[in-house]
Chains A and B, each alone.
Chain A
Amino acid sequence: MKLTLKVWRQKNAENKGEFKTYQMDHVSEDMSFLEMFDVLNDDLVRKGEDTVAFDHDCREGICGMCSMYINGRPHGPLKGTTTCQLHMRHFKDGETITVEPWRATAFPIIKDLMVDRSAFDRIIQAGGYISINTGNAVDANSTPIPKLDADKAFDAASCIGCGACVATCKNASAMLFVSAKVSQLALLPQGQPERHQRVKKMVEIMDAEGFGNCTNTGACEVECPKGISLENIARMNRDFLVANVVD
């Protein structure tokens, strides 16, 4: 396939960026989107030009490192798919593809398509854990958990923290991410002792990091590669109110 790539190039957070256009003449439709960028970078190295920086790690769709805002959508046009699992056969021969980094105050650009998502880490550090002393592993059956609760907690826990929700939200809100991390523990007995403290602290840091306010457009749920549900946001809103009234 032949493709025209319009790629955002930016030296660092301070410099102004711009689009650069690259012609790709030999793209295989079996390549993943990231493999196509590997080919592009290989070309750039041969020409002695600066390669395009982008995040990636497992390339199996489970780590949450890859990003890229492709043709106006995070992780590209496919539902429930990360950029590394997006294959070139989903694009047309001769198509022009626009690739931008996630754009949000809370995600400053490191270089080109690579953004600093450590704001998410700081939100987790604020309360996205349970405090337990180590010791012998407790028998799993000693704490019965209804199947439905366990399933919901697991669904919330499948969030890989890629930031697509922030990227697609017109308000750059991190509510889907934070609510998934609040819910995965709020739904389980182990998460109860710190439940109120957790939601208050995590929301506080979320606000301090400069994420926007949710207006319930629901774009995050549609674009999330792991299908995290808006139900989590409602649960967090509920918990936040209860936590502020009770504590």
Chain B
Amino acid sequence: MATVTAGIIQSSIGRKYLMALSGLFLCTFLIVHMLGNLALFKDDGGQAFNEYTYFMTHNPLIKIIAYVNYAFILLHIFYSLTLTIYNRKARPESYALVNQSKSATWSSRNMGILGSVILIFLIVHMRTFWFEMKFGTMPTIQYDGNDMVLKDMYSVVAEAFSQVWYVALYVVSMFAIAFHLYHGFQSGFQTLGINHHKYTPIIKNIGMILFAVIIPALFAAMPLYFLILNL
């Protein structure tokens, strides 16, 4: 088994498998993250969202998946850098004139830039919510019919999303995610060797409709909702 993995990882195709697998895992994570966060839209003083937050931070299975998720984010970043360095070496002197707009989509040619925007977003995002939840002093709240005192993540979210610059950063970042996944989702399948005349068009449509439109739009709607609420 060790030689099998070594043989795969030391090759260009093997490193791409890891990019694809980690990327597709992160795609599934986004679906769960988005669905859970829909609780923010429930007009109940944040009860649904805070109870959901409590569940997500205390369920042992979710905790394990969360660490797998962090590991995959780091892996995805590590291999994107490794692959980029290899690819730079493969063409040290660039062309004076490149005309690629007709042969490849803009997103597919700018995955690195899009990924970097997403990384900056992630750092800000984790600092504001994850770090505060784990290490900060959070306001607490207790709801009727629930005797537990919950950390009031809802008010932290509402507070963060009352700032225009913060909301703007989120909306711009969701565009970056949309374009990143427009290429990334279907590209992951191609790398894993899944290219079929019947199923590839379906995969491409899922990538386009779900991952490049619906998910980023719903995520962007969350900060915008709080911003409008605060007007």
Chain A residues engaging chain B, CB cutoff 8 angstroms: 6, 8, 19, 69, 71-73, 98, 100, 103-106, 168, 170-173, 200, 203-204, 206-207, 210-219, 222-223, 230-231, 233-241, 244-245
In the bound complex, do residue B95 and residue A72 qualify as a contact, i.e. CB atoms below 8 Å apart?
A: yes
In the bound complex, do residue B187 and residue A170 qualify as a contact, i.e. CB atoms below 8 Å apart?
A: no
Which of A19, A213, A236, A241 is most buried by chain B, counting CB atoms within 10 A of its CB?
A213
Query: Any chain A CB within 8 A of the CB of B39?
Result: no
Which of B7, B86, B90 is most buried by chain A, counting CB atoms within 10 A of its CB?
B90
> Shortest beta-carbon distance, A191 to chain B, in Å?
17
In the bound complex, do residue B87 and residue A172 qualify as a contact, i.e. CB atoms below 8 Å apart?
A: yes
In the bound complex, do residue A210 and residue B4 qualify as a contact, i.e. CB atoms below 8 Å apart?
A: no
B70-78, B116-124, B173-181, B188-196 - the one binding chain A:
B188-196
A-B Cβ contacts below 8 A, count: 139
In the bound complex, do residue B83 and residue A216 qualify as a contact, i.e. CB atoms below 8 Å apart?
A: no
State in angstroms the CA–CA spacing of A207 and B97 once bound together: 27
Q: Classify the secondary structure of A's interface with B.
A: mixed
In the bound complex, do residue A244 and residue B109 qualify as a contact, i.e. CB atoms below 8 Å apart?
A: no
Given contacts A73-B99, A98-B97, A213-B83, contact A238 B193 (CB under 8 A): yes
In the bound complex, do residue A218 and residue B104 qualify as a contact, i.e. CB atoms below 8 Å apart?
A: yes
Q: A222 contacts which chain B residues (CB < 8 A)?
A: 102-104
Least CB separation from B80: chain A residue: A215
Q: B186 contacts which chain A residues (CB < 8 A)?
A: 216
Q: Interface size on B (CB < 8 Å)?
A: 41
Chain B residues engaging chain A, CB cutoff 8 angstroms: 4, 7-8, 11-17, 83, 86-87, 89-100, 102-105, 108-109, 111, 183, 186-187, 190-195
In the bound complex, do residue B17 and residue A241 qualify as a contact, i.e. CB atoms below 8 Å apart?
A: yes
In the bound complex, do residue B193 and residue A105 qualify as a contact, i.e. CB atoms below 8 Å apart?
A: no
Q: B105 contacts which chain A residues (CB < 8 A)?
A: 217-218
> Shortest beta-carbon distance, A155 to chain B, in Å?
13
In the bound complex, do residue A206 and residue B12 qualify as a contact, i.e. CB atoms below 8 Å apart?
A: yes
In the bound complex, do residue A213 and residue B16 qualify as a contact, i.e. CB atoms below 8 Å apart?
A: yes
Given contacts A212-B87, A245-B4, contact A69 B104 (CB under 8 A): no
Query: Which of A207, A219, A244 is B104 in contact with, Cβ under 8 Å?
Result: A219
> Shortest beta-carbon distance, A220 to chain B, in Å?
8
Q: B192 contacts which chain A residues (CB < 8 A)?
A: 237-238, 241
In the bound complex, do residue A105 and residue B95 qualify as a contact, i.e. CB atoms below 8 Å apart?
A: no
Q: Write 30 A-B pairs (CB below 8 A) sorted by A numbering.
A: A19-B96, A72-B99, A73-B103, A98-B97, A103-B95, A105-B89, A168-B100, A168-B103, A170-B100, A170-B104, A170-B109, A171-B91, A172-B90, A200-B7, A207-B11, A210-B90, A212-B90, A213-B16, A214-B191, A215-B83, A215-B87, A215-B111, A216-B187, A217-B100, A217-B103, A217-B108, A218-B104, A222-B103, A222-B104, A244-B4
